[in-house]
Structure 1
Amino acid sequence: MEHSTEHRPWFVRRRKALLRSGGALAVLGGVALGLAVLDWNLLRGPIGSLASARTGREVAITGDLDVRLFSRAPSASVQGLRIGNPAWAGPGRMAEIPRLDVQVELWPLLRGKLMMRRLALERPVFDLVRDAKGRANWSMSRKSKAGAPLRLPPIRDFTIAGGSLKFTDAGRRLTLAATLNAAEQAGGSDRGFTLTGQGTIKAAPFRLEVRGGPLLNLQPDRPYPFDADVRAGPTRVVAKGAILKPFDLGEVEAQFTASGTDLADLYDLTGVPFPNSPPYRLSARLARQQKLWRANSIGGRIGDSDMAGELSVDASGARPFLKADLRSRSLDFDDLAALFGGAPSRRPGETASEGQKATGAQLAAQRRFLPDARLDLRRIRAIDADVAYRAAGIRDAMLPLRAGSVRVKLEKGLLTADPLRFDLPQGAIAGQVQLDGRKETPVTSLDLRLSKARLEQLVPIRTGGAAPLTGGLVGRAKLTGAGASVREAAAHADGQVLVVVPSGEIRAAFAELLGVNVVKGLGLLLAKDQSKTDLRCAVAHFQARNGVLTANRIVFDTEPVLGVGEGRIDLRNEQLDLRISGRPKRPQLIRVMAPVTVQGPIVQPKIGVETSNVVAQGGIAAALGALVSPLAAVLPFVDLGEADDAACGALIAQAGRQGAPVQGPARR
């Protein structure tokens, strides 16, 4: 009689499943036994081949390999580990480690998280290379992007004995030879981690010293402290901070101080193209979050100007993006000269580097003011930026500037300063400046307007305590020039410049002297006569071509005299040659029609009277029609404000009544 399967013993019913499980356990046991007695040296070749395939470079183990898997903390000892370069870096090795001991935590590893209990390296040699494209030979992933921060798993105990490091950065022309040591325990001269070395940046000496805390019992959730001191020529950077997640260099915070003779020199250390500057000392709170760097609470001085604000650099895109909001309570205006390759003032007490002093002395000896330092186009093409800056106060400017602000944007080599504004006691200078660095030869263009200003404030001439000229003042300069330096761009400038005094007053003595009425003019000056006469209109219009500003019209109209001028301003050699002649509107006792001249270097012109040529007196009506009528074409170039009621408008109307062909085009 057959028994039902339901009444069979359970081990009979499940014998197939038990046989399969038993077989699997037997296999696993055999594998475990095999691994326990395995000579791991037999796997050096396969392990090296697998690692080579994964990293895209040669990885080889030339010495003994000993692995201990069956432990709460599996470990391995590797002797003769060699890691080669990626193909782009050429032949050679990235690292060579005579002995490497590693021990990992088992339970975190089973959860998919690598945590090292111990990492010990004996006499390691590292040869690190970063090429001009930013590729780093220590990046083990084929898909890793240039500039990615080094990230290691958490390591509780980390020791390095007798290590050496060589670092070469082609883009920054930097080399470094350093020693590496990391003591397991604190105490003595080998406390914690040390990296010390020296090398060159662009052939200039470079020194680096980094010290960290003890590398014993590190916790992945506790910051690892460090100090750093970097010196490259006159540049020094000192930092005290912590790696927030040891050893993830993408999470760092530090308080740092940077000082040197020129902010532009920081490019060699940071890769950020800061502008040229006078000597500086700045401090900030620095934080790194992977590819985002932030500098908060910036404070210090650049030249003789204070500086504060915030700055960030995002390196996650095709080009780094710099964003900053900066401000000064008091800007020493001559500090700005260094931005363009010039020099701050050389007066006693002014801050300038030795190189800037030499540049200033050379410009002064040549009686020039336009610097010829050339722009490095690679730097402005390598980064994008959005920078806002404002100065609450300005001092030591040629004009009475009170405050200023600018917004600078840089994108793919195109730099735009817009809006740019300087406040005057009355009125302002505002507009935009653009530098197009996308072309082989950069092109600079500017469009600046002077509005609602006062003549007596911008031309502070005093005789006997009174201003000889008063009145409103407006103007505009629109110029474009190609060149890699300020001087070169100015020497190729095209465009126009217009300055207008719509109405005002002038001391009668000065007006008489335009006709060079020797008796009355000098008599009034000697008597300190303060009587005034109306300044109906004054216009100076220059057309620029290849760096030469030629005076199309210079008109100076008062009740007694109509002054007219001619000449040019040559930016190529920075020279002035202007003449103003007066045509009296009524008979004078003694009259010499001799032009008043303004000649010589722009920085040091001389004012005189040209007596060699006596100008014949012409009809005032003819002069008015010939000289004033073109004003209708140039005055719309500026905003006169109350243009309809200004005396210049009346003068044009008068010229029209006298038959001059006056035509007023639409304003632009």
Structure 2
Amino acid sequence: MPLPLKIVLGIVALLFAAWAVLYITKGRFLKGPFERIATSNLERKVEVGGDFQLYFAPINIKFLAEKISIANPQWASEKHFFKADLVEARIATFSLLTPDERINWLRIVKGNADLEWSADGDRNTWTFGDPRQRGKPLDLPTIRRALVAGTRLRYAHPQLQFHADVGIDTVRARDTKFENDIRFSGSGGIRGRPFTVSGGLLSPNETVAGGENQLALQAQAGPTRIEVSGTLPGATEIEGADLRMQARGPNLSLLFDFLGVAIPDTRQYRINSHLTKSGDEWRFTHLRGRFGDSDLAGRLTISMPQDRLHLNADLASKVVDILDIGPFIGYNPQKLDAQGASGAVEVVGGRPRILPDAPLRVEALKRFDANVKYSIARVRAESFPISNIAMALKLDRSLLTLSPLTFDLAGGFLSSDIEINARGEPVRTAYDIRLSPTPMGRLLAGWGVEQSGTSGVLKARVQLTGLGNSVRKSLANSNGRIAIIIPAGTMWTRNTELSELDVGTFVQKMFEKKLKKPVSINCGLVAFTVRNGVAAADPILIDTAKNVVLGNGAISFRDERIDLAVRADSKKFSLFSGQSPIGVGGYFAEPKIDPISGELLARAGAGLGLATIASPLAGILAFVDIGDAKAASCGPVLSGARAVAQRTKKGKARDDVGTGKASVS
């Protein structure tokens, strides 16, 4: 016999002898070496208090250990990572030579497993070896079949304020289609809110030898409910799973709290989607549902590149109700549900307040990144004709940008770039909002202004920067500029006549049935300089064919107070002209217009005195506008220049416009 063949036969004989010894003795003599080698490799104390078996049967590895325990690292809250009265398994031998380890059959009796992260989030109990090394994601071997009795699984993540305690048992199914079910149920808590979970793994008879498992899972945290059902390739194998998920509750942000992810609040919702896992990605596809009175569709992917949670989404809505946008910017969804639009108003210290004050969840933003695209075909709103909203949101290590955020508005186009920098304290927000030329008739139609006879347009820009973790706080100390520019156009005579309280001309034209005769607008600018949350008129100046509208005063983002005075000086002689400021006061939530100013009342009193002492004609003189208003040079107006740069048509500096200071003249 050739020597090589003898060597091969010798090796085979030795292997057979070793196999036979292990099979006959069941490998019980390996108990001590197993404990020593496992303890050394895991750097954890491993003990077997009862029977021990380790052998080939015939090819797969048979493992059995009674009273087995694996210690936890010293920082953990529990003494043991794992312990059980009995662990019995059939392990695919050749799978140990590959990264995809496979357990064909597993039995656990009265087991307890402790899966826990350290308080600093750097270590966990299932990463073995050097106790100082960074914790790795949980990677279970593929388990084809399992029988579990009286076993509990504990999971805790202090940084996420999350913990769960789940009991697992194998029960005989009533439905003859299944051999047995692995049922689980338990409870836990997330950020102080308790939840319950239950479900089962259902193994069909025809595929028990390495086949598919039917998963049914239900979880509930208060009114938030999640149901997952579908097929798993193996009992612990999620890769390539074909699942369906249903979720419903009062607020989507509560659902994402399970991931430690902060999203804007929403009104009540219900969502359905397909769910599968591919690599390190959880993919939610064919997503369909509603939030409030709005629809939602698209896809969402959750992944962990470089051990950091990342959300990638492409979402769309056909119709969104204006109330459903409110929670996105910080309004209370429950109040909106109960009170409608009035739920956006709060009374603080006896004063109405409408700017949203919901704080940005800065700590949650530190834990994940995101890229989200969201489009809305139409917004259902009574006053604003908004459509074709397109938003690109990016979150990169606490730097949140909404750029671009665009939509069509009343025949115009609004584009904006918003940056919220939460990388430091305090949060810094920069707003840059631009409105392209927009027809005033269409824009104001929701407030009862007819479009006929109004051909004027307006364009606008808002540039503000403020500090604070809410919309209200960032605006309350913001600095920047607000400018609304009105190029040449026409407007109803009624609108301009009322603005100057020109009673004589207004009544005259009303009787002549010329109320809708257009009045030409040469140019206009309504602008404010914002300093530390107070926006002072800089300037308010509208030049028409008949008059010049001027304004002074300020609005405050600090307490939402309005304190403006607007007057219209006629370019032509007119009787019965009030020629006095119209007061615009109150608060953002409750603005008030007061056409009977103190100056107007004083002039009315003077007129009454003159009429009593002299003659009725003298009383009229108090209401005569001699028509000396100075026409505006439209160049500085149309460029949005500050008050100091405004000029009359003769090129002289104006001394009748607001200077950008907060006082009312």
- Would the TM-score normalized by the shorter structure come out above 0.5? yes
Deviations 1:297-344 (A, max 9, x none): 111101111001111122132422221111111111221111122035
Q: Which amino acid aligns with 2:639?
A: P
Say if 1:193 and 1:517 are closer, same or farther in 2 by CA, change over 3 A: same
TM-score calculated relative to the size of structure 2: 0.84
| SS of equivalent to 1:50 | helix
- Aligned: 1:540 with 2:526: yes
> Which of the numbers 551, 576, 581 marks the counterpart of 1:595?
581
> Which of the numbers 154, 174, 188 marks the counterpart of 1:166?
154
> Which of the numbers 203, 206, 211 marks the counterpart of 2:195?
206
> Which of the numbers 54, 71, 85 marks the counterpart of 2:41?
54
| SS of equivalent to 1:317 | helix
Say if 1:73 and 1:495 are closer, same or farther in 2 by CA, change over 3 A: closer
Partners in 2 of 1:26 and 1:533 — Cα distance? 110
Deviations 1:621-659 (A, max 9, x none): 7855xxx46x75564359xxxxxxxxxxxx98x835444
On the 8 A contact 1:261/1:353 being kept in 2, the answer is no
On the 8 A contact 1:95/1:124 being kept in 2, the answer is yes
- Aligned: 1:508 with 2:493: yes
| Corresponding residue number in structure 1 for 2:163 | 175
- Aligned: 1:137 with 2:130: no
| Corresponding residue number in structure 2 for 1:5 | none
Q: How far did 1:558 drift?
A: 1.7
Alignment of 1:10-409 (within 5 A): 35=22, 43-69=30-56, 71-89=58-76, 92-105=79-92, 115-131=102-118, 133=121, 135-140=123-128, 148-155=137-144, 157-183=145-171, 191-214=180-203, 222-343=211-332, 352=337, 360=344, 362=346, 366-396=351-381, 398-409=383-394
Deviations 1:367-410 (A, max 9, x none): 22112111111222222211111111111164221321111111
| SS of equivalent to 1:372 | coil
On the 8 A contact 1:476/1:499 being kept in 2, the answer is yes
On the 8 A contact 1:252/1:288 being kept in 2, the answer is yes
Q: Which amino acid aligns with 1:423?
A: D
Partners in 1 of 2:101 and 2:387 — Cα distance? 61
On the 8 A contact 1:577/1:598 being kept in 2, the answer is yes
| Corresponding residue number in structure 2 for 1:3 | none
Q: Which amino acid aligns with 1:168?
A: A
Partners in 1 of 2:333 and 2:18 — Cα distance? 78
On the 8 A contact 2:401/2:420 being kept in 1, the answer is yes
Q: How far did 1:262 drift?
A: 1.1
With 144-153 and 157-166 compared, the bigger mean Cα shift is at 144-153
With 281-290 and 109-118 compared, the bigger mean Cα shift is at 109-118
Identity of paired residues, percent? 24
Say if 1:513 and 1:107 are closer, same or farther in 2 by CA, change over 3 A: closer
Partners in 2 of 1:635 and 1:357 — Cα distance? 35
Partners in 1 of 2:12 and 2:209 — Cα distance? 37
Q: Which amino acid aligns with 2:247?
A: A
Say if 1:520 and 1:463 are closer, same or farther in 2 by CA, change over 3 A: farther
Q: Which amino acid aligns with 2:51?
A: D
Partners in 1 of 2:10 and 2:502 — Cα distance? 126
Say if 1:65 and 1:424 are closer, same or farther in 2 by CA, change over 3 A: same
Say if 1:441 and 1:179 are closer, same or farther in 2 by CA, change over 3 A: same
Partners in 2 of 1:343 and 1:134 — Cα distance? 36
Partners in 1 of 2:191 and 2:162 — Cα distance? 7
Partners in 2 of 1:574 and 1:297 — Cα distance? 44
Q: Any gaps of 5 or more consecutive residues in structure 2?
A: 604-621, 656-665
Alignment of 1:554-569 (within 5 A): 554-569=540-555
| Corresponding residue number in structure 1 for 2:564 | 578
Q: Any gaps of 5 or more consecutive residues in structure 1?
A: 1-9, 639-650, 663-668
TM-score calculated relative to the size of structure 1: 0.83
| SS of equivalent to 2:384 | coil
Say if 1:175 and 1:372 are closer, same or farther in 2 by CA, change over 3 A: same
| SS of equivalent to 2:473 | helix
CA RMSD, Structure 1 to Structure 2 (Å)? 3.8
With 127-136 and 494-503 compared, the bigger mean Cα shift is at 127-136
| Corresponding residue number in structure 1 for 2:639 | 636
- Aligned: 1:604 with 2:590: yes
Q: Which amino acid aligns with 1:207?
A: T
Say if 1:573 and 1:660 are closer, same or farther in 2 by CA, change over 3 A: closer
Deviations 1:109-147 (A, max 9, x none): 799985444321111112222346275423457699757
Deviations 1:183-234 (A, max 9, x none): 4777699941111112322332311012111387856863321011010111
| SS of equivalent to 2:573 | coil
Q: Which amino acid aligns with 1:126?
A: A
On the 8 A contact 2:524/2:543 being kept in 1, the answer is yes
Partners in 2 of 1:37 and 1:185 — Cα distance? 36
Partners in 2 of 1:127 and 1:108 — Cα distance? 26
On the 8 A contact 2:432/2:461 being kept in 1, the answer is yes
Q: Which amino acid aligns with 2:140?
A: R
Q: Which amino acid aligns with 1:84?
A: A
| Corresponding residue number in structure 2 for 1:648 | none
| SS of equivalent to 1:392 | strand
With 100-109 and 71-80 compared, the bigger mean Cα shift is at 100-109
Q: How far did 1:66 drift?
A: 2.9
| Corresponding residue number in structure 2 for 1:644 | none
Q: Which amino acid aligns with 1:225?
A: Q
On the 8 A contact 1:416/1:432 being kept in 2, the answer is yes
| SS of equivalent to 2:305 | coil
Partners in 1 of 2:97 and 2:493 — Cα distance? 98
| SS of equivalent to 2:35 | helix
Deviations 1:580-605 (A, max 9, x none): 12222222223332111111011221
Partners in 2 of 1:194 and 1:439 — Cα distance? 47
On the 8 A contact 1:266/1:274 being kept in 2, the answer is no
Say if 1:142 and 1:263 are closer, same or farther in 2 by CA, change over 3 A: farther
Say if 1:28 and 1:551 are closer, same or farther in 2 by CA, change over 3 A: closer
With 312-321 and 106-115 compared, the bigger mean Cα shift is at 106-115
Q: How far did 1:106 drift?
A: 5.7
> Which of the numbers 423, 441, 447 marks the counterpart of 2:432?
447
Q: How far did 1:280 drift?
A: 0.8
On the 8 A contact 2:485/2:640 being kept in 1, the answer is no
Q: How far did 1:282 drift?
A: 0.7
Partners in 2 of 1:602 and 1:80 — Cα distance? 71
On the 8 A contact 1:66/1:78 being kept in 2, the answer is yes
Q: How far did 1:522 drift?
A: 4.0
